[in-house]
Structure 1
C-alpha cells in the first residue's frame, strides 16, 4: 500500500475544499462582527424625569434640588427634571430604542421627603437588554408636603379717586363672594403671607355707583406657584362700589334786593339781609363765600303791591344772578334761615309832583 507523502497531505489540508472553507470563514467573521458590534455599546441621551407624589390629592412636591451633578447643574440648584442618561446595550437595540422613543422621559413616584439616587430609581421603562450606566445629576433631594385647603378673604385693589364731591370707604365696597377657597402646601398656607386680591379697579372720575360682574382674582405671596384656587370658577368675583357725596357747608349773611316790574313805583319795606347756608364740595362752597364777600352773590326778590300788608315771596320770586352761585351747587342746596318778609304799596304822588 502506497503512503501519501506528508507534503501532499499538508497541501490538501490547507487548500483542499477551498469553497467550503471560505464559506465557513465568512460566516465566522459575520457572526463575530455581529456579536462584537452588539455587546457593550454605550449611548448618552438627554432625558426628562418627572417627580410626582404618590397621591396628588393628599401630597404635593414642594421643592426638588440637585445634590450631586457633573454637568447638569450645581449642588443646590433647582432640579427641573432635565438630565443626561448613559445607556448600555446591544447597538441594534439602542438604535431601535432611539428611533421609537426620540423623546426620552421617565417618572418617579415619591411618598416622602428625602434623597433619591436617580440611577437606582425605577424611572424609565427600558427595553430588555438596555441598562442604565449613569444619570447626571446622580442625586437629588425632594421635599414633600401635605395638601391643605383654606378660606381666604378677598381684598379689593382699587386705585384712583371719584369725581370731586364724592367719596367711598371700605364699607362701601362689596364683593360677592367675599371669600375664596385655596388649596396648596400646608407649610405655605398655615402662615398669613398668602393673600387674594382683585385685579386693579380704577375709579378715577366716577360720580355714580360702580358695578362689575366678572372681576379676576390673583394670589399673592406664593413664590412657589403651588397655591391655586380649589375650583377654576373660584378665580372670579363681583364688585360693587357705592359712592357718598363728600359735601361741606357754609353760612353767610347775604344782602336782599327788591326789584319791581317796569312802571311800578312801590314803597318797599322788608328784610335787607338774610342768613343763607349752602352745601356742596369744598371748592364750590369757598367760591360762593368769596362771591358773597365781594358782592357778586345776593338775593333778588320780585316784589308786588301788597297794599302795605306783610307777605312772604314764593320760591320763584327769590333768585340770584346767573353765575354768582357755582353751577355744581343746585338750588335745593341753598337754604335760608328764615322766610323773607316784606310789604309794598304804591307811592302816592302829590298833584305838584304829578304835574312835574
Structure 2
C-alpha cells in the first residue's frame, strides 16, 4: 500500500496503457508484412557478415510527424529501391522518438497531435499502423530505439535499429539492444570519440538480465541471449566530421584492437554534415570514392531525406505546416535523394561485387 506522504510526490497521474499483446491483436502483422521484416533483417545481417556485398542505406525523414507524407515517401523509395537493388539495399528511416537535450517535441508516439496533449496510446496505434502499411508495401524499416518500453509494441516491424549518440553510453539501452531481434548500430559519442560505441558493442553481444515488460504489459525480468549484429555508426562530434578515410581507418584499427568485426556505417547527417543538408550528398560522394579506392569496412549509410528540402518550425496549428518538410533536423529533398543514390549505384555496381 502506498504512503502518499513519501511516495509519488511529483507524479500528477498514472494512466493504464494498452498492453503490447492488445495492440498487436488490434493491429496484427499480415503475412506480407512479416515476410518483409524477416527478409530485411536477414539481408542486413548478411551484409554485416560479408556474405552480401551490397551496402544498406537507412534513408528517410529525420522524424515522422505526418503519416500521409510518410506513405508518399515510402512509395517513392520503393520504386527507387528496385532501380538500385543490385548495389544498395534501401531501408526506410521511420523515427517516432526524438531525444531532447532539454525540452521540445519528443516524436509521434509521445505527442502525435503536436499540441502537448501527449496522447501516447494513440501515438502507439498511429505508429504501428504506419509501420504495417509500409511493411506491406515491401519496405524494410529502421528506427531509433529510445524508450525501453516501446520495443515490445513496435519492434516486430523493425529490420534495423539505431542507438543514438546520447544513449550509446546508457546501460539501459545496451541491455535493451542485446534483446532486439534485428541488427543495431551504435553511434559514436557526441564528442566524436569511439570509446562509448566500442564499449557498447562489447556489451550488446553478451546476455543481460534487466527489468522490463512482457507481452501482457506486466513488469518482468527480461533475460536476453545477446545481439551478435551490433556495429558502429560514425556521425561526427563537437562540430567535426569523422567520415573521411583517416577517421574510418582509425575506427577500423580500434575495432580490430577490441577484437570486433570491422563494420562501419557512416551517418551522412549530424556533425558529419554540420547539420547542413546540402553537405549530405558530398559525404555520400566521399564514401563512394573510399569504396572505389578499396575500402572494405564501410557497410552502410544513414541519410536524412524527405519529400521537401530543409526543415520548418513547429506552429501552433499543425495544419499550417508545409507538407513533406521536416519539423526536426533539416533533410535533403526527394529529387536530391534520388539523384545521389542513383549516382552512387552507378559508380559502385562494378566495384561492390569484387570487394
TM-score by length of 1: 0.17
Higher relative contact order, structure no. (Cα contacts within 8 Å, ≥ 6 residues apart): 2
Larger proportion of helix: 2
Larger proportion of strand: 1
Larger radius of gyration: 1
TM-score by length of 2: 0.17
